[in-house]
């Protein structure tokens, strides 16, 4: 049981997550993820954006949710997508996509396996996942290694888009390390949760890491049904 379309969310418990883009692609929220995808594609006009990092200032702001839905949105557009769980502090992608995590990113970086053998297919066509793998004692070092550069080069030759989930910028250095290697970064903010100073600080830290910030995503904004009424009736 994984990301089967039309399976009711309530029947999927535990830490498994429902991805609205896969479950209900026609919903307004899925449409928003497609808008983010389109904006990234426009940003890709002058220079190719293949490796996209998703991060946020603090914990629990919606990085993993955004990264996974964006990965689905890109796959639905026919891109061959690799979603990489680069959050070696609190990995969740293997729960989201219902795959084992006995090996993954760290196994490739420590040369215990190859990328080819480590990524897994998901229930979403065109979407593949490289879960975190076993958590090492020194995540920043592992992520900043030359093995990571080699992995990225190989992944770029195999996939159209590579999306990284990461830990929070204000908590650990890992996102900076990865942002420096990515073609672009997205900063997720959570409505009513992210404080503006934290977001600014995160932006500065990413800029210092020479990350190319593609934009910010506002997550958890409550939408009143009247907003849609307004939207559809005021063309």
Binding region for ligand ATP (CB under 6 A) = 17, 56, 59-65, 87, 90, 92, 168, 219-220
- Nearest distance from residue 146's CB to ligand ATP, in Å? 26
Q: Is 143 helix (H, G, I), strand (E, B) or coil?
A: helix
21 part of the interface to Mg ion, by CB under 5 A:
no
Q: For 57-174, where are the E strands, in sequence order? A: 81-85, 120-121, 127-130, 161-165
63 part of the interface to Mg ion, by CB under 5 A:
yes
The residue range among 60-68, 104-112, 127-135, 187-195 that interacts with Mg ion, by the rule CB under 5 A, is 60-68
Query: Residue 219: which of ligand ATP, Mg ion, none does it interact with, CB under 5 to 8 A by kind?
Result: ligand ATP
Q: How far apart are CA 218 and CA 58, in angstroms?
A: 14
Q: Is 26 helix (H, G, I), strand (E, B) or coil?
A: coil
Q: How far apart are CA 54 and CA 3, in angstroms?
A: 21
- Nearest distance from residue 39's CB to ligand ATP, in Å? 18
- Nearest distance from residue 71's CB to ligand ATP, in Å? 13
- Is residue 123 classed exposed, middle or buried when 0-12, 13-18 and 19+ CB atoms within 10 A define those classes? middle
Residue number, 98 or 115, with CB nearest to ligand ATP: 98
Task: Give me the residues that bind Mg ion (CB under 5 A), please.
Answer: 63-64
């Amino acid at each position: 049981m994984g990301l089967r379309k039309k399976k009711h969310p309530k029947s999927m418990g535990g830490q498994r997550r429902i991805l609205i883009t896969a479950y209900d692609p026609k919903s307004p929220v899925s449409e928003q993820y497609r808008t983010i995808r389109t904006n990234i594609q426009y940003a890709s006009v002058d220079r190719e954006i293949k490796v996209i990092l998703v991060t946020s200032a603090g914990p629990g702001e919606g990085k993993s949710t955004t990264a996974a839905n964006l990965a689905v949105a890109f796959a639905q557009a026919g891109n061959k997508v690799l979603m990489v769980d680069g959050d070696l502090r609190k990995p969740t992608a293997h729960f989201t996509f219902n795959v084992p995590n006995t090996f993954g990113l760290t196994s490739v970086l420590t040369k215990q396996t190859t990328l080819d053998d480590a990524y897994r297919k998901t229930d979403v066509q065109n979407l593949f996942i490289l879960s975190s793998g076993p958590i090492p004692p020194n995540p920043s070092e592992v992520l900043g290694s030359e093995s990571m550069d080699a992995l990225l080069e190989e992944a770029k030759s195999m996939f159209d888009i590579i999306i990284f989930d990461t830990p929070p910028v204000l908590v650990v250095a890992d996102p900076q390390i990865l942002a420096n290697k990515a073609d672009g970064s997205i900063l997720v903010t959570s409505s009513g949760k992210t404080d503006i100073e934290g977001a600014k600080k995160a932006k500065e830290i990413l800029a210092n890491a020479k990350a190319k910030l593609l934009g910010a995503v506002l997550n958890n904004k409550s939408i009143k049904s009247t907003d849609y009424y307004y939207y559809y009736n005021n063309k």
